[in-house]
């Protein structure tokens, strides 16, 4: 209608299912002129089983006979299109992902460019070579150095369950599944249902023979009948999410089905004295600030704390001040997304906790006005690594040597990623 500012799009990709038989639910994102309504499919358990049968058969007949080199070429063509600013698929991502995720549009654009470049053909060939000394094992039987012949087989049906914290996250597991010739069904998160759907459609456009080897579905987490129906069809389930979510999912996966959970992770930054000479300290602080700002620390790679070594021309406290200056500059380039009440309370509680440490004589100094969209807490004495409040809150702690951080990281060893 005239004057209606709501953009309406559909997510999901359902090869082999008649569209007229599918029920749809609308998810709303954004407000005002940025509002988007995304229609997602709501399949019955019977429809999920029929979809699984179709994808499995298409994978057997269309995907598994293809040489890995051809699969890499197909993925590379799809990625090339997503890297083309003039391509309609990329333009749709640029227009919709900021509205859906709430992240700054320029942050999303630059983040996607860097991310997508890791999936070009040379990188994909490297992915395969890292796990298979002889990639031809995925195509045919090959001689083993110790005698006999061997061949590697991917899953007959791989099910992905994705989180929605970072735009584009599904691409990792989708691409890796294709590289081992695994037909797949992916369940998108309600927080970001678009990217995987668009990629599946694009892949079908680039190579019609693969139009039926991927499907993208949606249902609410904890929908036990849907989870059980889908997981019962898979021989491998790969899931991302919080530890509570993964524990609940595991209970729905048949005992004979392989379950690969990817749960809560934390990352930390280590800054050496060598990176703190006069020529490098500012660029190091700028890179550190970008890592804090990128996707508001929602990713597994996002740093919560920087441990900074003494002994450089720039002291750890001076580095913290430089980091604060870079964060202040970036808030004008990449606006922080609007926080929920829960997120705002978490940030306020984190600031208050850091202030109390300072009052208690723990040597903690807050850099950044209370009204700023970022905050740096500097400590002259390092302490055990703990998660922060996200959304541009970061600690900088001084250490004599980077090796001194090892005991400080030990408490988080189960969730430490990078």
First to last CA, the chain: 49
Whole-number pLDDT of residue 33: 83
> Where are the alpha helices (H) located in 3-137, listed in sequence order?
45-58, 68-82, 88-101, 105-116, 121-131
What pLDDT is attached to residue 4? 53
Tokens at 405, concatenated: 């951080």
Taking the C-alpha atoms of residue 293 and residue 295, their distance in angstroms, rounded to an integer, is 6
Q: Tens-of-pLDDT digits for all 418 residues of the chain?
A: 434 578 999 999 999 999 899 999 999 998 888 899 999 999 999 999 999 999 999 999 999 999 999 999 999 999 999 999 999 999 999 999 999 999 999 999 999 999 999 999 999 999 999 999 999 999 999 999 899 999 999 999 999 999 988 889 999 999 999 999 999 999 999 999 999 999 999 999 999 999 999 999 999 888 899 999 999 999 999 999 988 999 999 999 999 999 999 998 999 999 999 999 888 999 999 999 999 999 999 998 999 999 999 999 999 999 999 999 999 999 999 999 999 999 999 999 999 999 998 887 778 999 988 889 999 999 999 999 999 999 999 999 999 999 999 999 999 999 999 9
Nearest Cα residue to 273 out of 247, 306, 311, 239: 311
| DSSP code of residue 157 | S
pLDDT at 31: 85
Sign of CA dihedral 215, 219, 224, 225: negative
Q: What is the pLDDT of residue 278?
A: 83
């Amino acid at each position: 209608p005239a004057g209606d500012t709501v953009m309406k799009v559909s997510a999901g990709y359902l090869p082999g299912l008649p569209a007229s038989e599918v029920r749809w639910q609308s998810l709303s994102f954004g407000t005002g002129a940025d509002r988007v309504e995304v229609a997602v499919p709501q399949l019955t358990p019977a429809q999920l089983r029929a979809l699984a049968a179709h994808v499995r058969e298409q994978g057997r007949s269309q995907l598994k006979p293809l040489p890995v080199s051809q699969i890499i070429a197909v993925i590379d063509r799809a990625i090339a299109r997503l890297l083309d600013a003039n391509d309609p698929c990329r333009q749709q991502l640029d227009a919709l992902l900021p509205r859906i995720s709430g992240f700054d549009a320029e942050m999303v654009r630059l983040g996607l460019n860097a991310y997508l470049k890791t999936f070009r053909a040379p990188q994909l060939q490297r992915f395969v070579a890292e796990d298979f000394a002889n990639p031809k094992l995925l195509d045919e039987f090959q001689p083993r150095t110790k005698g006999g012949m061997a061949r590697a087989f991917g899953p007959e049906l791989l099910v992905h369950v994705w989180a929605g914290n970072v735009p584009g996250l599904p691409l990792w597991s989708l691409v890796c599944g294709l590289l081992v010739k695994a037909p797949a069904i992916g369940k998108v998160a309600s927080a970001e249902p678009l990217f995987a759907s668009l990629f599946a459609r694009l892949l079908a456009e680039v190579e019609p023979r693969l139009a039926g080897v991927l499907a993208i579905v949606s249902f609410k987490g904890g929908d036990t009948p849907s989870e059980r129906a889908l997981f019962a069809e898979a021989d491998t389930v790969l899931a991302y999410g919080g530890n509570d979510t993964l524990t609940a999912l595991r209970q729905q996966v048949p005992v004979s089905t392989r379950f690969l959970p990817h749960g809560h992770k934390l990352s930390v930054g280590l800054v050496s004295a060598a990176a703190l000479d006069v020529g490098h300290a500012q660029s190091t602080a700028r890179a550190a600030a970008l890592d804090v700002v990128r996707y508001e620390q929602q990713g597994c790679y996002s740093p919560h704390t920087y441990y900074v070594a003494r002994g450089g021309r720039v002291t750890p406290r001076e580095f913290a001040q430089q980091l604060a200056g870079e964060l202040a500059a970036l808030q004008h380039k990449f606006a922080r997304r609007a926080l929920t009440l829960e997120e705002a309370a978490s940030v306020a509680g984190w600031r208050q906790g850091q202030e109390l440490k300072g009052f208690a004589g723990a040597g903690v100094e807050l850099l950044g006005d209370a009204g700023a969209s970022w905050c740096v807490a500097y400590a002259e004495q390092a302490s055990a690594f703990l998660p922060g409040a996200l959304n541009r809150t970061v600690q900088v702690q001084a250490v004599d040597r980077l090796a001194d951080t090892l005991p400080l990281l030990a408490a988080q060893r189960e969730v430490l990623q990078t």
